[in-house]
Amino acid sequence: MKEIRTQALVIGGGPAGASAGRSLAQSGIDTIILERDFSYTKPCGGAIPSSAIAELGIPERVIRNKVTKIKVFSPRGESVSIDLTGGTFCITERHELDSSLRQAASENGASIIESEFIRFEKTGKQVVSLARDRKTGEELRITSDYVIACDGITFRAASSAGLPKPGFVYTISAYVKPDDYNQDTCEFWFGADYSMLSYSWIFPAGNFLSVGTGNEDPGLLTSIINSFMEQRFRQDIKDFSRERFISKMRAFRIPVWSKPVYNLGNILFAGDAGSTVMPVSYEGIYYSMKSGQLAARAVAQAKPEQYKKEWERAYKMRFMMMSIIRKHLLKNTNNIERWVLLHQRKEVQEMAMQLWLRKDASKRSLFSYVSLFRHIIKIW
Ligand X SMILES: Cc1cc2nc3c(=O)[nH]c(=O)nc-3n(C[C@H](O)[C@H](O)[C@H](O)COP(=O)(O)OP(=O)(O)OC[C@H]3O[C@@H](n4cnc5c(N)ncnc54)[C@H](O)[C@@H]3O)c2cc1C
Whole-number Å distance between alpha carbons of 58 and 103: 11
- The window from 11-19, 119-127, 293-301, 340-348 that contacts ligand X (CB under 6 A) reads 11-19
Q: How far is the CB of 366 from ligand X (least distance, A)?
A: 19
Per CB under 6 A, the list member of 9, 10, 32, 43 interacting with ligand X is: 43
Would you count residue 254 as binding ligand X (CB under 6 A)? yes
Closest CA to 67 of 44, 83, 53, 43: 83
How far is Cα 104 from Cα 269, in angstroms, rounded to an integer? 21
By the rule CB under 6 A, 376 interacts with ligand X: no
Q: Nearest Cα to 23, choosing from 267, 296, 287, 298?
A: 296
156 vs 244, beta carbon nearer ligand X:
156
Q: Which of residues 170-209 bind ligand X (CB under 6 A)?
A: 171, 173
Sole binder of ligand X in the list 10, 29, 32, 45 (CB under 6 A): 45
**What is the smallest separation between the CB atom of 202 and ligand X, expressed in angstroms?**
11
Among 16, 84, 224, 325, indicate the residue that binds ligand X (CB under 6 A).
Answer: 16
Q: Which residues contact 262 (CB under 8 A, 6 or more apart)?
A: 268, 269, 274, 295, 307, 308, 311
Q: Is the Cβ–Cβ distance between 141 and 3 less than 8 Å?
A: yes
Does 272 participate in binding ligand X (rule CB under 6 A)? yes
User: How buried is residue 346: exposed, middle or buried, by Cβ count under 10 Å (0-12/13-18/19+)?
Assistant: exposed
- The candidate with the shortest Cα–Cα distance to 318, out of 361, 286, 285, 348, is 361
Total residues at interface with ligand X (CB under 6 A)? 41
Query: Applying CB under 6 A, does 12 fall inside the site for ligand X?
Result: yes
Question: In the set 288, 306, 349, 354, which binds ligand X (CB under 6 A)?
Answer: 288
Tell me how far, at minimum, the Cβ of 271 lies from ligand X, in Å.
2
Q: Which is nearer to ligand X, 13 or 204 (CB)?
A: 13
Burial environment of residue 365 by CB neighbours within 10 A (0 to 12, 13 to 18, 19 or more): middle
Min dist. Cβ of residue 177 to ligand X (A): 19
Q: Exposed, middle or buried: residue 219 (CB in 10 Å: 0-12, 13-18, 19+)?
A: exposed
40 and 46 in contact (C-beta within 8 Å)? no
Q: Does 283 bind ligand X (CB under 6 A)?
A: yes
Binding residues among 135-164 for ligand X as defined by CB under 6 A: 150-152, 154, 156
Applying CB under 6 A, does 117 fall inside the site for ligand X? Answer: yes
Binding status of residue 46 toward ligand X by CB under 6 A? yes
For residue 245, list its beta bridge partners: 176
Nearest to 271 by CA among 153, 127, 115: 153
Using CB under 6 A, list all residues that contact ligand X: 11-17, 34-37, 40, 42-48, 116-117, 150-152, 154, 156, 171, 173, 212, 252, 254, 271-273, 277, 282-286, 288
